[in-house]
């Protein structure tokens, strides 16, 4: 399970559409294989995980469509912004995710990109099931009710 999440102004890039579009069933924290200019761009906050998703290729988990902007001070060695990146999980977690992914309606989506206390980039991924339109309307109602309750308390 995901732990040691960032706080106090640390880099945290969130996928805000994830909770609206999907039911998040299980969350895992995975490492990412990055190049030097990619980690520098993430530390500058220049990444977007909104439209990204994960899939298995040859028994390995990869994140697709994750945009990490080119590093502003990079040379000809700069990375490709939307390349596929390998995720690092334990074999046990990979087997569990692969088994669940075969069920109808399940997918794996990134929810949070953050830097841990050792300086490594981590990606929180969630096993998710898509919501129907009426479920999304219910989520909006709950969010509005929470907001109204918080305004009354303040």
Report all structural domains of the chain as residue ranges with CATH numbers, in order of start: 12-153 (2.40.280.10)
> Is 7's pLDDT higher than 60?
no
What gap in Å lies between CA 121 and CA 72, rounded to an integer?
A: 19
What gap in Å lies between CA 92 and CA 71, rounded to an integer?
A: 35
Q: When comparing pLDDT for 94 and 9, which is higher? A: 94
Q: What confidence category does residue 88 fall into, taking pLDDT thresholds of 50, 70 and 90? A: very high
């Amino acid at each position: 399970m995901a732990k040691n999440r960032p706080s106090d102004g640390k880099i945290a890039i969130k996928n805000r559409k994830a909770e609206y579009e999907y039911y998040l069933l299980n969350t895992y924290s995975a490492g990412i294989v990055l190049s030097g200019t990619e980690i520098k761009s993430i530390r500058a906050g220049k990444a977007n995980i909104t439209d990204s998703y994960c899939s298995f290729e040859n028994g390995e988990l990869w994140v697709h469509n994750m945009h990490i902007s080119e590093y502003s001070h990079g040379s000809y060695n700069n990375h490709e912004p939307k390349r596929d990146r390998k995720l690092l999980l334990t074999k046990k977690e990979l087997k569990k995710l692969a088994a669940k992914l075969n069920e109808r309606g399940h997918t794996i989506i990134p929810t949070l990109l953050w830097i841990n206390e050792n300086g490594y980039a981590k990606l929180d991924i969630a096993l998710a099931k898509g919501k129907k339109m009426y479920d999304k309307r219910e989520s909006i109602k709950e969010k509005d009710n929470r907001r109204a309750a918080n305004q009354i308390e303040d």
